[in-house]
Amino acid sequence: MKFLTMALLALAGSSFAAEPASLKVYISADMEGIGSVSTWEKQASASGADYEQFRRLMTLEVNAAIDGAFDAGATEVLVSDSHGDAQNIDPELLDKRVKLIRAWPRPLGMAAGVDASFDAVVLVGYHGGEGQADSILSHTEDDTKYADMKLNGVSVPEAGFVAATAGAFGVPVVFISGDQTITRVTRELLGDIETAVVKVAHGFYAGTMVHPEEARRLIRDGVKRGVENRGQLKPYIIAKPVKLQITFKKTVEAEVASYLRGVERLNGNTIVYTADDMLDAARFVNTVYYLKVD
Ligand SMILES: [Zn+2]
């Protein structure tokens, strides 16, 4: 009897071991770094003449990333549409295995929905930060609003801000796709993550594009490798308290932001907010973003 019980326990144990462990992947998708995208006017604005075609290309690149995540053993994937009005990804064309976050505002912005239950973060279609040379449509958050954003003195593109937000939950970024510049800059910031260079920027608009099918192959393969290697990558941790420095393009917006508690005005256009932690910093950014003073 005892032997039988032990044998049953052993069987139960082996069946538990065969059960796939949870592996959750979070994908944040922007549009300027999607393959073939080179202008806002025609391609990456909802009113653009070719927008419908390019939102389809964006959705298919996200699907390629989803395939890569499931190839690597993901059990759950959450996607955040993080461009423009955050309603670009075509819900019908999107891979049926995932859930999709759409629209703003949201306190964690481009990292909305990420938490400590996730194992890896994947960035698709990201672009260089404001002022970055040789990077298609480079800007930070809003090209009319911010000239720079720093975390504890380090200037970060949107990819760095999302990485820091996910890092606050202990989740590493494992992959980024975009042009040759944002992929290089993000590796310099985060370490040896996987990348897919889907275009080579010649400047702010012009670039040499790989074919969309090749872009999707690079993304699928890169995401698979990245998710598989997640254990080798460290979350991007910003020491607390977080000094969030924002340089506004409009002096009057820096002025009004400086009315808030905890904000110091460094010069006409630049403020520093001392945040308790990265999540506090993210909420601050996603609040002052809506500050519009004419
Ligand atoms: Zn962006």
228 C-alpha to center of ligand 1: Å?
A: 26
Q: Which fold, 242-288?
A: Gyrase A; domain 2 (3.30.1360)
- 14 residue type, one letter: S
Helix (H, G, I), strand (E, B), or coil: what is residue 165? helix
84 C-alpha to center of ligand 1: Å?
A: 8
2 C-alpha to center of ligand 1: Å?
A: 63
CA 69: distance to chain centroid? 15
204 C-alpha to center of ligand 1: Å?
A: 14
| pTM score of the predicted model | 0.93
**Which backbone phi and psi does 29 adopt, to 5 degrees?**
-120, 125
Fold agreement between 22-146+157-232 and 242-288 = no
68 C-alpha to center of ligand 1: Å?
A: 22
124 C-alpha to center of ligand 1: Å?
A: 11
Residue 133: count of CB within 10 angstroms of its CB: 10
Among residues 242, 246, 253, the alpha carbon closest in space to that of 280 is found at 242
pLDDT of residue 7: 47
4 C-alpha to center of ligand 1: Å?
A: 61
Q: Which fold, 22-146+157-232?
A: Rossmann fold (3.40.50)
52 C-alpha to center of ligand 1: Å?
A: 18
Residues forming a β-bridge with 87: none
83 C-alpha to center of ligand 1: Å?
A: 6
pLDDT of residue 5: 47
pLDDT in single tens digits along all 294 residues of the chain = 444 444 444 444 454 555 559 999 999 999 999 999 999 999 999 999 999 999 999 999 999 999 999 999 999 999 999 999 999 999 999 999 999 999 999 999 999 999 999 999 999 999 999 999 999 999 999 888 999 999 999 999 999 999 999 999 999 999 999 999 999 999 999 999 999 999 999 999 999 999 999 999 999 999 999 999 999 999 999 999 999 999 999 999 999 999 999 999 999 999 999 999 999 999 999 999 999 998
Angle at 166 between CA 139 and CA 75, to 5 degrees: 115
pLDDT of residue 1: 46
Domain spans, the chain: 22-146+157-232, 242-288
> 144: which residues sit within 8 A by CB, 6+ positions away?
249
pLDDT of residue 19: 54
41 C-alpha to center of ligand 1: Å?
A: 15
112 C-alpha to center of ligand 1: Å?
A: 14
pLDDT of residue 242: 98
Spell out where the chain has E strands: 24-29, 76-81, 99-101, 120-124, 146-151, 154-155, 173-179, 194-201, 207-209, 242-248, 263-267, 270-275
pLDDT of residue 86: 98
> 165: which residues sit within 8 A by CB, 6+ positions away?
108, 109, 111, 114, 278, 279, 282
268 C-alpha to center of ligand 1: Å?
A: 25
DSSP for 82-101, please give it.
-STTS--S-TTTS-TTSEEE
